[in-house]
Amino acid sequence: MGDSPYLVSRLQGFGTTIFAEMSALAVATGSINLGQGFPDEDGPPEVMDAAVAAIRAGHNQYPPGIGIPELRHAIVAHQSKWYSLDYDADTEVLVTAGATEAIAAALLALCEPGDEVVTFEPYYDSYAACIAMAGAHRRVVQLRTPDWTFDAEALERAITPRTRVLLLNSPHNPTGKVFDVAELELIAQLCVEHDLLAITDEVYEHLVFDGKHVPLATMPGMRDRTVTISSGGKTFSCTGWKVGWLCAVPELVDAVKTVKQFLTYVNAGPFQYAIAVGLGLPGSTLRRLAGALEEKRDRLSAGLAAAGLTVLPSAGTYFVSTDIRSLGESDGMAFCRTLPERCGVVAVPSIAFYDDDDAGRPLVRFACCKRLEVIDDAAARLRGLAR
Ligand SMILES: Cc1ncc(COP(=O)(O)O)c(C=O)c1O
């Protein structure tokens, strides 16, 4: 495949290939799958009921290209309520097929071939693929273990005259890092100084346990140069619905919309109504959802530590990362390939999220977004590793 003249040769090897291998292993061995991040329980009943009602009400044809007004207004109200960010629902919001399409369309729309995109590694695997599809080049700044900090000078050095976009994911997959205000201020300052656009992926915005999610767009000088992306899948435990969105100034929304209309055109008609209901739920409901996930993060982290793994801090998201060197192992890929057979659990080797193989090799990511009894079962199985 590496010799293919087609784009596939440049996209092979990115994370998705490894996830597919691990998910297949989970099925083949009947293991507990803590690899891919999807919940095993439904989200709030109000949101589920709204989807059923929307289908029954006949909202089953193409929705408007920019998304149904109910959802666009709900997104505007959400950004204003949580972050005091004001957007116009008709010109500054675009509904997309999950955050995945928003990320792809934004990179395709805003990058010219040869441009550079700065992002942090480890990185969510679609970033590398989408940057490649845009003909752009990625330059990565490493989040260092054990505390996921980064070197400010390394970030500054990564920015060159070819840099067009800074792509930020916070709360961050796979690390669970939530960028703090001082870090965001530094990133914002560099974006302004070098006249960069920012694309932010905030799909875990409501799944924060330690610290607070602050959108980059709230930093001085950033609102008008930032495309803020999120989606309903993680917050409302409905990853299969693929309702995402972005907020930005009209000319950036127009640019992304031009690409989006030739990718999916529109999607998820009835589910857009349901996510609009979800975004309008009281803050207490969203905090309860985060609280339930925090308990799972804690339970899984304790289980992983009891199994002899070094648990790295996760302040949010669906994930907990570990360093396997405390078990006397060093190759996360080999570890994950044999884990199903050794103890009936599937995880993901973090090397899939790294350019720097040496940094990623000893790290393994586990998903905590599963029922407590599933986590307990996985923890009991993993205890065999420590013996
Ligand atoms: C950081 C990050 N961004 C985007 C996505 C995809 O979001 P969606 O399902 O809304 O396309 C994921 C899903 O795992 C993710 O972890």
| C-beta of 98 in contact with ligand 1 (< 6 A) | yes
In angstroms and rounded to an integer, the radius of gyration of the C-alpha atoms of the chain is 20
**309: alpha, beta or left? (left if phi > 0; alpha if psi -120 to 50):** beta
Cα atoms found within 13 Å of the Cα of residue 362, Cβ hemisphere only: 17
DSSP SS3 for 353: helix
Which residue has 């293991």 as its token pair? 31
DSSP SS3 for 274: helix
Atom from ligand 1 closest to the CA of residue 103:
4
| C-beta of 169 in contact with ligand 1 (< 6 A) | yes
| C-beta of 51 in contact with ligand 1 (< 6 A) | no
| C-beta of 122 in contact with ligand 1 (< 6 A) | no
Q: Which pTM does this prediction carry?
A: 0.96
| C-beta of 267 in contact with ligand 1 (< 6 A) | no
- Beta-bridged to residue 364, according to DSSP, are 322, 349
Is residue 35 within 8 A of residue 281, CB to CB? The reply is no
The identity of residue 125, as a single letter, is D
Model confidence at 187: pLDDT above 50? yes
Joined together, the tokens standing for residue 314 give 């996760």
53 CB burial (10 A radius; 0-12, 13-18, 19+): middle
Which residue has 């609009």 as its token pair? 276
DSSP state letter for 313: P
How far, in Å, is the centroid of ligand 1 from the Cα of 308? 30
Banded model confidence at residue 1, pLDDT cuts 50, 70, 90: very low
Q: What is the pLDDT of residues 50-108, one digit of tens each?
A: 999 999 999 999 999 999 999 999 999 999 999 999 999 999 999 999 999 999 999 99
Is residue 95 within 8 A of residue 245, CB to CB? The reply is yes
Q: What is the pLDDT of residues 32-53, one digit of tens each?
A: 999 989 999 999 999 999 999 9
| C-beta of 200 in contact with ligand 1 (< 6 A) | no
DSSP string for 64-81 = PTT--HHHHHHHHHHHHH
How far, in Å, is the centroid of ligand 1 from the Cα of 100? 6
Take atom 16 of ligand 1 and give the residue whose Cα is closest.
173
DSSP state letter for 229: E
pLDDT of residue 36: 86
Q: What is the pLDDT of residues 129-158, one digit of tens each?
A: 999 999 999 999 999 999 999 999 999 999
CA 344 to chain centre: 26
Take atom 13 of ligand 1 and give the residue whose Cα is closest.
37
Joined together, the tokens standing for residue 203 give 């799909």
Is residue 122 within 8 A of residue 174, CB to CB? The reply is yes
263-289 burial, b if ≥16 CB within 10 A, otherwise e? ebebbbbbbbbbbbbbbbbeeeebeeb
pLDDT of residue 384: 87
Q: Are strands 243-247 and 226-231 parallel, antiparallel or unpaired?
A: antiparallel
Q: What is the pLDDT of residues 191-242, one digit of tens each?
A: 999 999 999 999 999 999 999 999 999 999 999 999 999 999 999 999 999 9
Is residue 144 within 8 A of residue 153, CB to CB? The reply is no
**169: alpha, beta or left? (left if phi > 0; alpha if psi -120 to 50):** beta
DSSP state letter for 116: E
Distance CA 191, CA 340 (A): 44
Of 189, 184, 179, nearest to 156 by C-alpha is 189
- Return the H-helix or E-strand segment holding 304: helix 283-306
Take atom 1 of ligand 1 and give the residue whose Cα is closest.
173
Joined together, the tokens standing for residue 333 give 């890929």
Joined together, the tokens standing for residue 301 give 């982290």
